[in-house]
Amino acid sequence: MRGARIAVVGGGLAGIAAALECADGGAEVTLYEARRRLGGATFSVERKGHWVDNGQHVTLRCCVFYRDFLRRIGTEHLIAMQPRLRIPVLREGKPPAWIERGHAPAPLHLVSSLMSYAPLNRRERIAAVRAAAALRRLDPNDLRLDRFTFGEWLRARGQSQRAVDALWNLITLPTLNVDAENASLAQAVQVFRTGLLDANDACDIGVAAVPLQQLHGDAAAVALDDAGVRVLIGMPVRGIDREPGGVRISLDDGPDTAHAAIVAVPHYAAGELLPPGVVETDALDELGTSPIVNIHVHYDRRVLAEPLAAALGSPVQWLFDRTASAGIETGQLVVVSLSGADDEIGEPVDTLRDRYLAALARLLPAARDAEVLDFMVTREPKATFRAGPGTRALRPPQRTDVPGLYLAGAWTDTGWPATMEGAVRSGLAAARAALDDLAVGVRAPEEAVA
Ligand SMILES: Cc1cc2nc3c(=O)[nH]c(=O)nc-3n(C[C@H](O)[C@H](O)[C@H](O)COP(=O)(O)OP(=O)(O)OC[C@H]3O[C@@H](n4cnc5c(N)ncnc54)[C@H](O)[C@@H]3O)c2cc1C
């Protein structure tokens, strides 16, 4: 393995995880990132003296590879993890409802919360508990489940539209970035089982206590340097080709070579980088994209009492207090996160401003008299692939059929939706495949191009 040279293309979480794993495995690694920073889809921008993330990111206690990754880059302590799942669900003109876990073993830890969940009537609560129990018996790797939508399944299990809106979509939208009606049943089973139903504490929510750039990209730059990885930022790769014994990386100022390449770019960018036939470009197109919009409102005072909350009967989906993490000393920065935001992605700022300031005022009484010091919208039109039926078969494994070429990225086949956990898992899987192949001489280093 020593002396094997591995190129990693893309400096998001998948590429960073792959590069660190390869370096830890003894390879000489170069990481190429097109942008002038690491962190990929997780970053922050400076605005009026404070930091704004491109979009609120949430993790769960069950995201063990992501948390290991943070440990590896030295930032695990910068995640504020709830000691116990507790979500206030805000409703206009009514007291909040609560989703929280108890101390009983899974899946009983959620029963008492579900049975007192105010937005549903008694019948709907019982039906929800039954559906959760049935969900727990399904296998997320059963490809037959990937033919159906989660919405169809919920209806067949007697879930009312109100239960879908007030309970199931509260989790489906932020985790899958599509609603139940558009989500793959298999993917929903994975999320609900792994994130909620299979272990008592899996569902505890963690959020970054610092800007995302500090949590991921900047810390990773130091860790990669310490690990001896050559990091080239502002260095877009234009193409990757096979050569005898290795791969050729085309750059604006000439080619580089390596024994193997891990391509960790988004799915919509992978096809054009790779030689024909390595990935099915039609399948990547079919994976599609789903947008996320975040609305950042800086109030002159505290308006949201909790660190995070969900909302019902409102255009607001989830909201977060980002004041401390943004470095703000006056007032409160409230961030509204909108997943599956097909309707909002193209809306003008003024329209969003009118709609969301009014909606926040209806949900948060203290916001009615508060002055808005700043209002900003961040949009990610291609935030994730669309986790619809049939998706699983479209996601390729990390080891391709072509020697020396590996794929990584939250979109590759990890079993997880497009998440930070999925990205890290994919990077580790690609790195291990490359290291294994190089170790057994599938692509013997001595044959490498000079
Ligand atoms: C607004 C938003 C909110 C989200 N919320 C959550 C959440 O709450 N929880 C969660 O777990 N996940 C969330 N996600 C998803 C999560 O951020 C992604 O799944 C994950 O970060 C993807 O990592 P990646 O490394 O696979 O891809 P990316 O982060 O997209 O990285 C790919 C990298 O490749 C680079 N690149 C592309 N082309 C080239 C080239 N030719 N040469 C060199 N480099 C290239 C890109 O610049 C980029 O840095 C969210 C995403 C967004 C956008």
Res. 441: pLDDT tops 80: no
The domain over range 5-34+234-287+396-447 is classified in CATH as 3.30.1330.60: no
Return the bridge partners of 258, or none.
247
For residue range 238-281, list pLDDT tens digits in order. Answer: 999 999 989 999 999 999 999 999 999 999 999 999 999 999 99
Q: How many Cα atoms are found within 13 Å in the side-chain-facing hemisphere of 337?
A: 23
Atom 49 of ligand 1, residue of closest alpha carbon: 40
> Residue 338 region, left (φ>0) first, then alpha (ψ -120 to 50), else beta?
beta
| 3-class DSSP state of 350 | helix
**Mutate which of 30, 33, 173 to test ligand 1's pocket (most atoms within 8 Å of Cβ)?**
33
> pTM to 2 decimals?
0.96
**Mutate which of 13, 70, 377 to test ligand 1's pocket (most atoms within 8 Å of Cβ)?**
13
Atom 31 of ligand 1, residue of closest alpha carbon: 12
Decide: 413 and 396 in contact? Cβ < 8 Å: yes
Domain boundaries in the chain? 5-34+234-287+396-447, 44-80+206-210+289-384, 102-201
Distance 366 CA to ligand 1 centre (A): 35
For residue range 72-118, list pLDDT tens digits in order. Answer: 999 999 999 999 999 999 999 999 999 999 999 999 999 999 999 99
Decide: 385 and 396 in contact? Cβ < 8 Å: no
Cβ 58 under 6 angstroms from ligand 1? yes
Atom 20 of ligand 1, residue of closest alpha carbon: 420
Atom 34 of ligand 1, residue of closest alpha carbon: 10
Cβ 261 under 6 angstroms from ligand 1? no
Res. 44: pLDDT tops 70: yes
Residues 6 or more apart whose CB falls under 8 angstroms from that of 250 comprise: 237, 238, 239, 240, 241
- Tokens found for residue 257: 């070579």
The domain over range 44-80+206-210+289-384 is classified in CATH as 3.30.70.330: no
Sign of CA dihedral 354, 359, 364, 369: positive
